[in-house]
Chains A and B, each alone.
Chain A
């Protein structure tokens, strides 16, 4: 289907701070959907709660804005209920790596064919500046007045370790590169995870655009995306180099059967199209007699 970015526009004003990294992510996502020609009415974008979770309102697709941390379970079941849909889940680092981290870990074991984009700004924005699971050690926030003393959560290493079949990291300051990553993620048959550095211009005074500009570099053809151990090493490169070298791009990609492809019940007809008038339970009676 031919889809233009204009087809995805809505009238609503995006309610984010000027300069917010979320603008770059929305434009990259729209570009990816248009380039891939996904029909807007066959696309569902789920989210949790947070600044980034307002995103479903800013694209003219179907959407579900759930509660804090629960975008992934809602998205999972939408896919199981109608496996013809393109399902994308978005959310922030507090949403996905904090309150909803159990869903993040377990969804990767399942390999549903859906895409998960995390707007990782390393801070809680909507609740006005508390430490997040990815806030760097030493960072002062409202809840860490003497600096963070907890190790940061490692989304990419966690994803590779938990069985994700597509693991990438983008940067909201480079929407062109990000769009390509998201396109790859959506096109991937299986669970595709994209962690996106998203500078929060209001509350994160450490991980700013200039901070990333100096540190991020793009993985190239020399990195073997099929090599799990190489991917793991790249996932730890920021820590190893004391955050002097921060790779972005596709870290890991492997083909595995999706969860839904292993369910004969929905092989030919999605659940939503099953005929409710023709339900026969006589064999159940027989078994109970």
Chain B
């Protein structure tokens, strides 16, 4: 069983909260849930939509088409009418005149007088979301008690009166649809709870934040920027519970420099931003490398260059992360593929940063950052905190000597000492330096210090696992992808299987440094490889060629602001199989769209 709802309304009307409540209702009934929001870069006036996909089997990503649209305004009908599955239903607020739309003939309309029902229940217009949600649940005969409990949890802190009013309004909506759905009922499945086991609902950003906290992060500094801001919001909301310090700074330059300062003082620290903010951080990123100050940065990508499309998704900042800041220096780039990886890598990033005393960048994107997934509590047993070489007890130094913070070592890692420790005084510095941290322009010392920092690569490579294979070990075709695209790729396997195509997935979540041996071996085990990248130049494909001398057989690119849907991946693989893997190696796809949609966005209906 797989079923999906889309709730659409004007930006600012509260569909995100409604989506979360609906997701909770189904998660609490034992289902796997993906809640996926799309919205423009506007506070009010644009169109917001949230999809809630529900399944009794493991499911990883949102779908292109849905079963039920809940339209709180006429735009929602206009935008989503062509993306309703055959036999699907559009529930809409009754006063909306639907005659102006060409509704596909196998899609059914179900008008519900939402405002009138609220009035009947003695509520106010803000409750339209709750009534609409109740209407949709009635359509699939999902038990009302679960919704009532979710309403109680959601509005409980606002007082019993508000809870009661919302439940009364919801009851009206639920009863109205139960009584009036008529012949529509035969077209929509009923959804019955399978268990009452509690699962979490968590988005990529929240999972990174939570992983970082569990991993010992004590300080987070950032400047708000979509789609990284929800890390900042989540950490601020829980700052005192987590016993950490969160700082909103004057800009991203300060955010990165704060994080470096806290790290120098001995605290696991982190910053987070999107591409534009990361551009402002790059100078200090190089300082972290030269001063060998561990630092973790969450780079949550959106569509670039420049302001681009702020609330849409892309994977085009990978090369930027790889090369950010002047000079040669080693860094680590991690790209979690789902919320579990967000959590574990969010913590592991600090181990790598501290053990190797270098910058670690967690690269994610709007798609993973803001999509909410149902998942079990994370397994904390497999986590450990490894802080690397730190000394806190030093003998008195010889007169006129200083602590060798940048001592030349074989593995490239020199013991850190934090301010407050007697006999460890030294200067952390952005200048090239000698072993004590004193600025040095000696050619020999410069070369030795570069070699020392580069020597960390050997140790690091030992820690970097091979890319992960999902699905059958051997398959005639392999989807290759990185970061968030693990999600649609795993769902594509199911679609392909239904279509009689055996495939598997080779997924990368450790993007740099790349281990040539492990990657060559993994690629050799594949028959035909098809790389999917959410950018226009195949950035990771280029890196694989450059660092590992391997190349996928086909490269499919999409850079319209949306991630690949599983359906799209399956479709492209299907076409290649049909063509017996002949034809153009470079494939580009884009979402289907009418000029009508564009005009609507610009001029209104």
Contact B219 A77 (CB under 8 A): yes
Chain B 197-240 per-residue mask, 1 if CB under 8 angstroms from chain A, else 0: 01111100010001001101011010000000000000000111
Q: B267 near A: Cβ within 8 Å?
A: yes
For B438, the chain A residues whose CB sits under 8 A away are 12, 57
Q: B260 near A: Cβ within 8 Å?
A: yes
Q: Which of A61, A76, A277 contacts B258 (CB 8 A)?
A: A76
Contact A271 B245 (CB under 8 A): yes
Total interface residues in chain A, CB < 8 Å: 53
Q: B55 near A: Cβ within 8 Å?
A: no
Contact A78 B385 (CB under 8 A): no
In angstroms, Cα B73 to Cα A49, docked, is 56
Contact A284 B240 (CB under 8 A): no
Q: Which of A12, A43, A64, A288 contacts B264 (CB 8 A)?
A: A64
* Min CB gap B326→A, angstroms: 11
Chain B binder among A169-177, A183-191, A200-208, A259-267: A259-267
A46-B261, A81-B261, A281-B210 known; A64 vs B254 contact (CB < 8 Å)? no
For A81, the chain B residues whose CB sits under 8 A away are 218-219, 245, 261-263, 265-267, 269
For B498, the chain A residues whose CB sits under 8 A away are none
Contact A288 B202 (CB under 8 A): yes
Q: Closest A-chain residue to B267, C-beta based? A: A81
For B377, the chain A residues whose CB sits under 8 A away are 285
For B418, the chain A residues whose CB sits under 8 A away are 82, 272
Q: B243 near A: Cβ within 8 Å?
A: yes
For A102, the chain B residues whose CB sits under 8 A away are 250-251, 253-254
Q: B249 near A: Cβ within 8 Å?
A: yes
For B261, the chain A residues whose CB sits under 8 A away are 46, 64, 73-78, 81
Q: B244 near A: Cβ within 8 Å?
A: yes
Contact A70 B253 (CB under 8 A): yes
A57-B438, A74-B257 known; A85 vs B206 contact (CB < 8 Å)? no
For B206, the chain A residues whose CB sits under 8 A away are 288
Q: A2 near B: Cβ within 8 Å?
A: no
* Min CB gap B244→A, angstroms: 7
In angstroms, Cα B501 to Cα A261, docked, is 63
Chain B 368-386 per-residue mask, 1 if CB under 8 angstroms from chain A, else 0: 0000000001000000010
Chain B 71-114 per-residue mask, 1 if CB under 8 angstroms from chain A, else 0: 00000000000000000000000000000000000000000000
* Residue in A73, A75, A82, A102 with the greatest tally of chain B CB atoms within 10 Å: A73
Chain A binder among B127-135, B421-429, B512-520, B555-563: B421-429
Q: Which residues of B187-204 have CB atoms within 8 Å of chain A's CB atoms?
A: 198-202
Q: A67 near B: Cβ within 8 Å?
A: yes
* Min CB gap A103→B, angstroms: 6
* Min CB gap A12→B, angstroms: 6
For B413, the chain A residues whose CB sits under 8 A away are none
For A61, the chain B residues whose CB sits under 8 A away are 425
Q: A226 near B: Cβ within 8 Å?
A: no
Q: Which of A46, A77, A106, A272 contacts B420 (CB 8 A)?
A: A272
* Min CB gap A181→B, angstroms: 25
Contact B199 A277 (CB under 8 A): no
For A285, the chain B residues whose CB sits under 8 A away are 200, 377
In angstroms, Cα B219 to Cα A263, docked, is 13
For A78, the chain B residues whose CB sits under 8 A away are 261-262, 264-265, 419
* Min CB gap B216→A, angstroms: 4
Contact B214 A279 (CB under 8 A): yes
Q: Closest A-chain residue to B429, C-beta based? A: A65
Q: A144 near B: Cβ within 8 Å?
A: no
In angstroms, Cα B257 to Cα A46, docked, is 12
Q: B181 near A: Cβ within 8 Å?
A: no
Chain A 230-268 per-residue mask, 1 if CB under 8 angstroms from chain B, else 0: 000000000000000000000000000000000111100
Q: A143 near B: Cβ within 8 Å?
A: no
Contact A271 B239 (CB under 8 A): no
* Min CB gap A76→B, angstroms: 6
Q: A91 near B: Cβ within 8 Å?
A: no
Q: B404 near A: Cβ within 8 Å?
A: no
For B419, the chain A residues whose CB sits under 8 A away are 41-44, 62, 78, 82, 85
Q: B597 near A: Cβ within 8 Å?
A: no
A11-B400, A41-B423, A272-B267 known; A289 vs B198 contact (CB < 8 Å)? yes
Contact A276 B385 (CB under 8 A): yes
Contact A63 B428 (CB under 8 A): yes
* Min CB gap A265→B, angstroms: 5
In angstroms, Cα B240 to Cα A283, docked, is 12
Q: Which of A64, A263, A272 contacts B427 (CB 8 A)?
A: A64
In angstroms, Cα B170 to Cα A60, docked, is 69
For A77, the chain B residues whose CB sits under 8 A away are 219, 221, 247, 257-262, 265, 269
* Residue in A43, A63, A67, A265 with the greatest tally of chain B CB atoms within 10 Å: A67
For A20, the chain B residues whose CB sits under 8 A away are none
Q: Closest B-chain residue to A263, C-beta based? A: B245
A10-B402, A66-B257, A288-B206 known; A80 vs B219 contact (CB < 8 Å)? yes
In angstroms, Cα B269 to Cα A81, docked, is 9
Q: Which of A41, A63, A103, A265 contacts B244 (CB 8 A)?
A: A265
Contact B218 A49 (CB under 8 A): no
In angstroms, Cα B247 to Cα A54, docked, is 28
Q: B551 near A: Cβ within 8 Å?
A: no
Q: Which of A73, A264, A288 contacts B240 (CB 8 A)?
A: A264
Q: A98 near B: Cβ within 8 Å?
A: no
Q: A4 near B: Cβ within 8 Å?
A: no
* Min CB gap A1→B, angstroms: 11
Q: A21 near B: Cβ within 8 Å?
A: no
Q: B320 near A: Cβ within 8 Å?
A: no
Contact B265 A82 (CB under 8 A): yes
Contact A49 B430 (CB under 8 A): yes
A78-B264, A85-B265, A284-B241 known; A40 vs B425 contact (CB < 8 Å)? yes
Q: A142 near B: Cβ within 8 Å?
A: no
Q: Closest B-chain residue to A276, C-beta based? A: B216
In angstroms, Cα B383 to Cα A277, docked, is 11
Chain A binder among B4-12, B283-291, B540-548: B283-291
Contact A266 B245 (CB under 8 A): yes
Q: Which of A67, A76, A266 contacts B287 (CB 8 A)?
A: A67
For B239, the chain A residues whose CB sits under 8 A away are 265
Q: Which of B198, B420, B431 contacts A82 (CB 8 A)?
A: B420
Q: Closest B-chain residue to A65, C-beta based? A: B429
Q: Which residues of A27-66 have CB atoms within 8 Å of chain B's CB atoms?
A: 40-44, 46, 49, 54, 56-57, 60-66
Q: A274 near B: Cβ within 8 Å?
A: yes
Contact B257 A73 (CB under 8 A): yes
* Given A76-B258, A77-B261, A77-B262, 14 new contacts (CB under 8 A): A41-B422, A43-B419, A44-B419, A54-B439, A66-B430, A81-B219, A81-B261, A82-B420, A102-B251, A266-B245, A279-B213, A279-B214, A288-B200, A289-B200
> Can you give 21 A-B contacts (C-beta < 8 A)?
A41-B419, A60-B425, A61-B425, A64-B428, A65-B429, A66-B284, A70-B253, A75-B261, A77-B269, A78-B261, A78-B265, A80-B245, A80-B247, A81-B261, A81-B263, A82-B419, A102-B253, A106-B249, A106-B250, A263-B245, A265-B245
Binding site for B on A (CB under 8 A): 10-12, 40-44, 46, 49, 54, 56-57, 60-67, 70, 73-78, 80-82, 84-85, 102-103, 105-106, 263-266, 271-272, 274, 276-277, 279, 281, 283-285, 288-289
Binding site for A on B (CB under 8 A): 198-202, 206, 210, 213-214, 216, 218-219, 221, 238-245, 247, 249-251, 253-254, 257-269, 283-284, 287, 291, 377, 385, 400, 402, 418-431, 438-439
The 9 closest A-B pairs by CB, nearest first: A77-B261, A81-B265, A73-B257, A74-B261, A63-B427, A276-B216, A77-B258, A62-B419, A81-B262
